[in-house]
């Protein structure tokens, strides 16, 4: 089983190192970032199970970073750390799209417990993802249409569709999809082949081709 991936964006180098070490010891694969610009790049180009963002970041602050990720279709559950720790700040953070909030200084045990809870809630929701005209049920490996009819998918068809549905407004390049879904295949042609299979089963509208860039979930 692959280790859960976490992006930690924190400008205090000592705290960033402590968090990276702590989460690594807890079994996470950690990507650290020291400013909001780097965090934004990683958040838009890699897939994570959970995000930990500092509120007060240089270049791009934590709230702006989170709102940009949400606007670009990144729905990864997010815990935001803040030195402010007041009700107005909590409201601003939750309204920006964060699922949880922790004031600094914080207890390490509480941080880990909150991340576990975030991941549990996310996994429960993520077993069924919305699509144009229906939902993909990952447990049953099928698409359930709005009219209640169901279409069975192969394992790889389901994995490809789920990857696109997890970030519905994101354009995935063929090389990204090759690495995320078809890591044992040698050619990007396999991506085009499975896009064709899904369109044949579900209609051409299920996946959009973005010329020169790749594929995204249909609108």
Query: Can you read off the two tokens belonging to residue 52?
Result: 């930990």
Last residue of a domain, one of 64, 99, 126: 126
58-79 pLDDT tens trace: 888 999 999 998 888 787 889 9
- List, for residues 33-64, the tens digit of each pLDDT value: 999 999 999 998 888 889 999 999 988 899 99
Q: Which range of residues forms the domain containing residue 209?
A: 128-217
Condensed to tens digits (0 to 9), the pLDDT of residues 173-196 reads 998 898 888 876 778 899 999 999
Q: Are residues 10 and 90 in the same domain?
A: yes
Report if pTM > 0.75. Answer: no
Distance, in Å, from the CA atom of 66 to the CA atom of 78, rounded to the nearest integer, reads 8
Q: Are residues 35 and 118 in the same domain?
A: yes
Question: Do residues 17 and 111 both lie within one domain?
Answer: yes
Compute φ and ψ for 83, nearest 5 degrees.
Answer: -80, -10
Measure the CA–CA gap between 179 and 171, rounded to whole angstroms: 15
Give the mean pLDDT of the chain: 89
User: Are the CB atoms for 78 and 97 separated by under 8 Å?
Assistant: yes
User: Between vectors from CA 215 to CA 185 and to CA 150, what angle results, nearest 5°?
Assistant: 85
Tokens describing residue 43:
């958040």
The residue from 61, 92, 126 where one domain ends is 126
Q: List Cα–Cα distances, 128 to 11, 45, 118, 143, in angstroms.
A: 35, 23, 17, 9
Query: Is the predicted pLDDT of residue 209 greater than 70, yes or no?
Result: yes
Cβ(58)–Cβ(36) under 8 Å? yes
Model confidence at 3, in pLDDT bands (50, 70, 90)?
Answer: confident
- Do both 114 and 165 map to the same domain? no
Which strand ranges, in their side-by-side order, compose the sheet holding 134-137? 128-131, 134-137, 142-145, 150-152
SS3 call for 163: helix
Does 67 lie in the same domain as 9?
yes
Whole-angstrom distance, CA of residue 183 vs CA of residue 156:
11
**How many domains in the chain?**
2
The span from the CA of 115 to the CA of 109, in Å, is 10
| 116 and 192 part of one domain | no
User: Are 201 and 95 within one domain?
Assistant: no
Residues 96 and 183 in one domain: no
Co-location of 46 and 122 in the same domain: yes
CB contact at 8 A, 13 and 34: yes
| Paired tokens of 19 | 């968090």
Contacts with 215 (C-beta within 8 Å, 6 or more apart), sequence order: 164, 171, 172, 174, 177, 191, 195, 207, 208, 209
Q: Based on the fold, state whether residues 211 and 148 are members of the same structural domain.
A: yes
């Amino acid at each position: 089983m692959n280790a859960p991936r976490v992006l930690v964006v924190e400008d205090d180098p000592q705290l960033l190192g402590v968090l990276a070490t702590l989460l690594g010891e807890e079994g996470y694969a950690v990507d650290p970032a020291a400013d909001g610009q780097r965090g934004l790049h990683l958040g838009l180009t890699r897939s994570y199970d959970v995000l930990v963002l500092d509120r007060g970041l240089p270049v791009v602050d934590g709230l702006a970073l989170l709102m940009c990720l949400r606007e670009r279709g990144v729905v990864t559950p997010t815990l935001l750390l803040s030195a402010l720790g007041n009700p107005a700040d909590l409201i601003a953070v939750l309204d920006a799209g964060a699922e949880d909030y922790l004031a600094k200084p914080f207890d390490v045990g509480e941080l880990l417990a909150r991340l576990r809870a975030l991941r549990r809630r996310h996994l429960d929701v993520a077993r069924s993802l919305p699509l144009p005209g229906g939902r993909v049920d990952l447990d049953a490996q099928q698409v359930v249409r709005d009219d209640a009819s169901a279409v069975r998918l192969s394992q790889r068809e389901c994995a490809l569709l789920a990857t696109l549905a997890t970030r519905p407004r994101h354009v995935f390049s063929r090389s990204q999809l090759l690495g995320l879904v078809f890591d044992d295949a040698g050619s990007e042609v396999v991506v085009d082949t499975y896009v064709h299979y899904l369109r044949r089963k579900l209609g051409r509208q299920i996946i959009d081709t973005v010329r020169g860039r790749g594929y995204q979930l249909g609108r």
